[in-house]
Amino acid sequence: MFYFIIDILGTIAFAISGVLVAMDKKLDVFGVLIIAFVTAVGGGTLRDLLIGIKPVGWLNAPLFLLIIVVTVILTIIFVKQLKYVRKSLFLFDTIGIGLYTMVGVEKGLEAELSPIMCIALGTITACFGGVIRDILCNEIPVIFRKEIYATVCILGGVVYFIFIQFPINKTIAHSMAIATIIIMRILAVRFKISLPNIYRSSS
Amino acid sequence: MFYFIIDILGTIAFAISGVLVAMDKKLDVFGVLIIAFVTAVGGGTLRDLLIGIKPVGWLNAPLFLLIIVVTVILTIIFVKQLKYVRKSLFLFDTIGIGLYTMVGVEKGLEAELSPIMCIALGTITACFGGVIRDILCNEIPVIFRKEIYATVCILGGVVYFIFIQFPINKTIAHSMAIATIIIMRILAVRFKISLPNIYRSSS
Amino acid sequence: MFYFIIDILGTIAFAISGVLVAMDKKLDVFGVLIIAFVTAVGGGTLRDLLIGIKPVGWLNAPLFLLIIVVTVILTIIFVKQLKYVRKSLFLFDTIGIGLYTMVGVEKGLEAELSPIMCIALGTITACFGGVIRDILCNEIPVIFRKEIYATVCILGGVVYFIFIQFPINKTIAHSMAIATIIIMRILAVRFKISLPNIYRSSS
């Protein structure tokens, strides 16, 4: 139940980020809806395709389609008021990527893949909705350029696999990994931490 | 047999639209062929991947590959004469999206998905070839910006599910849905109907 | 064993081409890594998805992930020295597309697809990593514009299917096809052969 609520909050946060990018590109209502949808479900869809889960998850989750449609309508109407909830949105988004990373890791484990591939699938789940969003909007994906997003997911995955070496409850390992992702991301944004610049050093 | 002919006409119309966009970008012959191909089969391919149909349909349909190759060659040669068949092309294209929407809906029903997801798959089948075409050509997909294309497919899908509530022949429901899509699209283009503008109202 | 070494060399060459395109776009370390990865495995991934092989190959090949990571790090450090190995890189890349074309053809045959579809899958395996790389970097794919790359793969596939009509060893057919691809590509680059220009003739 707790996970379910996080999943909904994460979906809403992801959909809103899609709406904002799409409106910035002046897309029409249908375009905005599609971008919001792929931002919210794209990462999980790519993960399901790569593993071979059929059909992909969202085809059996009409509730999430409904949530996304309502989110899109409300966001379009209240787009000017969004700035007042900017911090909540950032928090939902961050909790969302924490949760989605763990969902991806679990799906990888179910498919009996190695830890490193599970971490890759977790990162894909959390990050590739945004990648597809940016490609559809004709932008180089933002996580390839400046956001530290993905690195944080990888770290979270590593923390999870370290913790499950010990005789502790799996839920605790989950929680520690999600907490790592949330804290690292907040610190990264707060202190403007980014990946090391490879261009100055190589020129 | 009737469906088969529509399918071929639709494929030709879609392939031609691919050739035109690709030539506008000055791609070479191979690029033009690939763009024509993905425009024609991209929507059905994405649908098959999402549902988990293996292999994707076109891998067992060499006839359509042949039709697309011939269409590409003829279109490149007669590109200047295309304007004389513009209306026929628009008609084929419109009949094509009507048919493809219904094909997508049927595949969704076969996979026992809910009506709303069947409509989503129908719309994907009809519209995402064009989306992939535009992405490969480095453009924001035209159906996200101004074409009313997708909305018409969704309407057609809704009409279909309304009709099959009644004790009527499935073929009639199909025909009514396809007719709805064709008529709505022609009206939309004729009277320049577009989706409501969300930007003026929100600024 | 021989194939295995070629596979590794091809992966390295593909990954380096990804790094170079990504660095040209000033992506951060994570972006460079992802672009290198999709360039190296993207073609095979798309092929596996289309055929319905689950999970896609790289999820069970952590060795290649490691090779790509090491390649990325070394390429970033020694990017200025790369020009001294430009010819070796071109050779690895060319041998790689020869091998990958044949791998794709074989996977198609295993899935009992027709020769023309096997050739299509071979070409996708060899070429679509670069297509996805260019799309993620917001460029029209280079093989749609000027490289003769794909045409050479198609020719190699045709050579293979001609040879296996005769009572000869399959390995010989493979070798002849790969040799065709390598020689044709070297000749094409050396003599600046490109596809016939369709624009002058049609204007």
Question: Interface of chain C against chain A, CB under 8 Å?
Answer: 22-23, 25-32, 34-35, 45, 49, 52-56, 59-60, 62, 65, 76-77, 79-80, 135-138
Would C201 be classed as within a structural domain? no
Which stretches of chain C are DSSP H helices?
Answer: 2-24, 29-51, 62-77, 86-110, 115-136, 149-163, 170-190, 198-201
pLDDT at B203 over 80: no
Q: Which tens digits make up the pLDDT trace of B106-158?
A: 999 999 999 999 999 999 999 999 999 999 999 999 999 877 889 999 999 99
Subunit contact C65:A196, Cβ cutoff 8 A: no
Q: For residue A202, what pLDDT band results from cuts at 50, 70 and 90?
A: very low
With contact defined as beta carbons under 8 Å apart, do A122 and A153 qualify?
yes
Mutate to test the interface with A, among B123, B198, B201, B202 (most CBs of A within 10 A): B198
- The residue in chain A having the minimum alpha-carbon distance to the alpha carbon of residue C133 is A140
Which are the contacts of A44, defined by CB distance < 8 A and separation ≥ 6? A56, A57, A58, A100, A103, A104, A125, A129
The 3-state secondary structure of A61-100, one letter per residue: CHHHHHHHHHHHHHHHHCHHHHHHHHHHHHHHHHHHHHHH
* Closest Cβ opposite residue A140 in set C30, C54, C137: C137
Q: How does A129-162 read in b/e, with b if 16+ C-beta sit within 10 Å?
A: bbbbbbbbbeebbbbbbebbbbbbbbbbbebbbe
Q: Which tens digits make up the pLDDT trace of B37-71?
A: 999 999 999 999 999 999 999 999 999 999 999 99
pLDDT at C101 over 50: yes
Would A32 be classed as within a structural domain? yes
- Distance between CA atoms of residues C58 and C37, nearest Å: 10
Q: Which tens digits make up the pLDDT trace of A110-140?
A: 999 999 999 999 999 999 999 999 999 999 9
Q: How many domains does chain B have?
A: 1
Instruction: List Cα–Cα distances, A13 to A40, A45, A182, C109, in angstroms.
Output: 8, 17, 15, 45
* In chain C, % of residues over pLDDT 90: 74
Q: For residue B85, what pLDDT band results from cuts at 50, 70 and 90?
A: confident
Residues written for chain A: 203
* Closest Cβ opposite residue A145 in set C27, C56, C77: C27
Would A38 be classed as within a structural domain? yes
Which are the contacts of A101, defined by CB distance < 8 A and separation ≥ 6? A122, A123, A125, A126, A153, A156, A157, A177, A178, A181
Q: Which tens digits make up the pLDDT trace of A158-187?
A: 999 999 999 888 889 999 999 999 999 999
Q: Which tens digits make up the pLDDT trace of A50-106?
A: 999 999 999 999 999 999 999 999 999 998 888 788 888 888 889 989 999 999 999
Q: Which tens digits make up the pLDDT trace of B180-193?
A: 999 999 999 888 88
Q: Which residue has the tokens 């093989």?
A: C143
Subunit contact B145:A31, Cβ cutoff 8 A: yes
Q: For residue B196, what pLDDT band results from cuts at 50, 70 and 90?
A: confident
Question: Interface of chain B against chain C, CB under 8 Å?
Answer: 22-23, 25-32, 34-35, 45, 49, 52-56, 59-60, 62, 65, 76-77, 79-80, 135-138
Would B181 be classed as within a structural domain? no
* Closest Cβ opposite residue C195 in set B28, B54, B136: B28
- The residue in chain A having the minimum alpha-carbon distance to the alpha carbon of residue B141 is A136
| Average per-residue pLDDT for chain B | 91
Mutate to test the interface with C, among B34, B70, B134 (most CBs of C within 10 A): B34
pLDDT at C59 over 90: yes
The answer to which of A29-33, B4-8, B70-74 has the lowest mean pLDDT is B4-8
Closest to B32 measured CA to CA, from B74, B2, B76? B76
Closest to C27 measured CA to CA, from C141, C134, C137? C137
Subunit contact B50:A45, Cβ cutoff 8 A: yes
| Average per-residue pLDDT for chain A | 91
* Closest Cβ opposite residue C28 in set A50, A120, A146: A146
pLDDT at B202 over 80: no
- The residue in chain C having the minimum alpha-carbon distance to the alpha carbon of residue A109 is C59
| Residue of B1 and A151 predicted with greater confidence | A151
Mutate to test the interface with A, among C20, C26, C34 (most CBs of A within 10 A): C34
**Rounded to the nearest 5 degrees, what angle is found at the Cα of C63, between the Cα atoms of C59 and C66?**
100
| Residue A197 with chain C: CB contacts under 8 Å | 28
What number is the average pLDDT over the span C170-184? 93
Predicted local confidence at residue B87, as pLDDT: 85
Closest to A96 measured CA to CA, from A143, A142, A50, A149? A149
With contact defined as beta carbons under 8 Å apart, do A55 and B167 qualify?
no
Predicted local confidence at residue C200, as pLDDT: 66
**DSSP calls for B134-192:** HHHTTS--GGGTT--HHHHHHHHHHHHHHHTTSS--HHHHHHHHHHHHHHHHHHHHHTT
Subunit contact A117:C79, Cβ cutoff 8 A: no
Predicted local confidence at residue C202, as pLDDT: 47
Would C200 be classed as within a structural domain? no
Q: Which domain holds residue C14?
A: 2-194
Would C202 be classed as within a structural domain? no
Q: For residue C19, what pLDDT band results from cuts at 50, 70 and 90?
A: very high
Tokens of B44: 């059905």
- Distance between CA atoms of residues B80 and B86, nearest Å: 11
Would A13 be classed as within a structural domain? yes
Q: For residue A200, what pLDDT band results from cuts at 50, 70 and 90?
A: low
Give the largest Cα separation in chain C, rounded: 53
**DSSP calls for A12-47:** HHHHHHHHHHHHHTT--HHHHHHHHHHHHHHHHHHH
Q: For residue B201, what pLDDT band results from cuts at 50, 70 and 90?
A: low
Both ends of chain A: CA-CA distance in Å? 52
Q: For residue A203, what pLDDT band results from cuts at 50, 70 and 90?
A: very low
What number is the average pLDDT over the span A184-200? 86
* Closest Cβ opposite residue B28 in set C49, C120, C144: C144
- The residue in chain C having the minimum alpha-carbon distance to the alpha carbon of residue A153 is C30
Closest CA–CA distance from residue C197 to any residue of chain B (Å): 7
Which subunits count as partners of chain A given 3+ CB pairs below 8 Å?
B, C
Tokens of B125: 């089948």
Would B81 be classed as within a structural domain? yes
Predicted local confidence at residue C201, as pLDDT: 55
Q: For residue C138, what pLDDT band results from cuts at 50, 70 and 90?
A: very high
Mutate to test the interface with B, among A21, A23, A24, A27 (most CBs of B within 10 A): A27
